[in-house]
Amino acid sequence: MSSGGFLRISGLCAGYGGEIAVADISFNLARGEILCVVGESGCGKSTLLKAILGMDSALRIPAGTVTLEGTELTALAKKERRKLAARRIGMVFQDPGSAFNPIRSYRRQFIETLRSRGLYDPSAFEGQAAQALEKLGLEDCKRILGSCPYEMSGGMNQRIALALALLLGQDLLLADEPTSALDATVQLQVAKELLRLREESGITQIIVTHNLALAGFLGDRIAVLYGGRLVELGPAKAVAAEPRHPYTRSLMGAIPTLDGKLPAPLPGQPPLGGPAKAGCEFAPRCPRASEKCRSAQYALRDGGSGHFSACCQEGGAL
């Protein structure tokens, strides 16, 4: 599906215990591409990232493959997979404090992390660190490295976590709501740094967010997840301007804008039990649902120009 062979996800299913949280996920990413994954709480966004990262031993992947530049990660032994993920895949979490130990200096934590991957070169460290921090618009490298995470604001911590990913030479960045805990001005700043990481260092990114406006700003493409399945996938501009799935349209309508009108909430609650066996997951909340929707088999259909939708009505078109 779509161009690019840097990261290939095919038919991926994942979940905890006996439950499946995400199913039938397929997409490809080209090197340097930014994909934003949007959806409500509980739709499987974070599980999808964890399945790609492969560090969570409690997460089961009963079907599907994750292939990074020709290496099938899902076929590797656990130890091998973790080793490769540690080297190439960076992860940034919503809680800016969670990436670091709050009371150890950044310098010590940077060095420990580099050493654990066999990348620590004492003579070059300060220069490399300064360069990585500079790329994120952070000057005064000495002061930053000497401070502890508890002394820094959320936005700073998030940017320093990105600098560490850069320092480790990771080329795939997974970010789980990286800006949700930050206020609006800092949010925009971090979003711009993510774009710069792509421009200057070619880092491929998958950004999970519930903020469609942010996804439209950052993403080359947007993937919309509902009830554990992809319901829409397409170029960011097209998804934002002409959403094809009714769920995406409802989600857009729920965003407050500066026009002073109250946004329209979606009726009901999202499903919590993971993907349904038959029928469209969104049917119970969909304004256009018909009998057909309750029995339709899940399939993502191309509506042209790489804009896919899983709506079974009129191929998902308006």
Partner 1 sequence: MSLLEGRALSKRFARRGVQVEALKDVSFTLGDGEILGVVGESGSGKSTLLRLVSSLEKPDKGEVLLEGKPLPPKRTKAQYRAIQMIFQDAAGSFQPRRRISASIRDGVKSLWGRDAEPDMAELCALVGLSPDLAERYPRELSGGQCQRFAIARAVAASPRVLLCDEITSALDVSTQAQVLHLVADICREKHMAALLVSHDLAVVSCLCSRVMVLYRGELVEEGPVRRVIDAPEQEYTKRLLDSVLEVR
Considering the complex, what minimum distance in angstroms separates the CB of residue 38 from partner 1?
A: 9
Strand partners, 235: 221
Nearer residue to partner 1 within complex by CB, 17 or 122: 17
Considering the complex, what minimum distance in angstroms separates the CB of residue 253 from partner 1?
A: 8
HSE, side-chain direction, 13 A CA sphere, residue 166: 25
Considering the complex, what minimum distance in angstroms separates the CB of residue 157 from partner 1?
A: 13
| Ramachandran angles phi, psi of 13, nearest 5° | -125, 140
User: Count of CB atoms within 10 A of residue 35's CB?
Assistant: 25
Considering the complex, what minimum distance in angstroms separates the CB of residue 268 from partner 1?
A: 10
HSE, side-chain direction, 13 A CA sphere, residue 136: 25
* Ordered DSSP codes for 96-130: GGGGS-TTS-HHHHHHHHHHHTT---HHHHHHHHH
DSSP β-ladder status, 204-209 and 34-38: parallel
Considering the complex, what minimum distance in angstroms separates the CB of residue 175 from partner 1?
A: 16
Burial of 235 (0-12, 13-18, 19+ CB in 10 A): middle
Residue ranges in contact with partner 1 by CB under 8 A: 40-42, 153-154, 180, 183-188, 191, 210-214, 216-217, 240-241, 250-252, 254-266, 270
Closest CA to 155 of 91, 216, 94, 219: 94
Nearer residue to partner 1 within complex by CB, 7 or 161: 161
Considering the complex, what minimum distance in angstroms separates the CB of residue 259 from partner 1?
A: 7
| Ramachandran angles phi, psi of 158, nearest 5° | -65, -40
Nearer residue to partner 1 within complex by CB, 110 or 226: 226
Considering the complex, what minimum distance in angstroms separates the CB of residue 293 from partner 1?
A: 20
Contact at 8 Å (CB) between 18 and 70?
Answer: no
Nearer residue to partner 1 within complex by CB, 143 or 261: 261
Cα(47)–Cα(57) distance, rounded to whole angstroms? 12
Considering the complex, what minimum distance in angstroms separates the CB of residue 11 from partner 1?
A: 27
Nearer residue to partner 1 within complex by CB, 153 or 290: 153
Nearer residue to partner 1 within complex by CB, 118 or 287: 287
What b/e readout covers 47-58, taking b as 16+ CB neighbours within 10 angstroms?
A: bbbbbbbbeeee
Contact at 8 Å (CB) between 133 and 146?
Answer: no
Closest CA to 280 of 234, 253, 316: 316
Nearer residue to partner 1 within complex by CB, 185 or 297: 185
Nearer residue to partner 1 within complex by CB, 40 or 302: 40
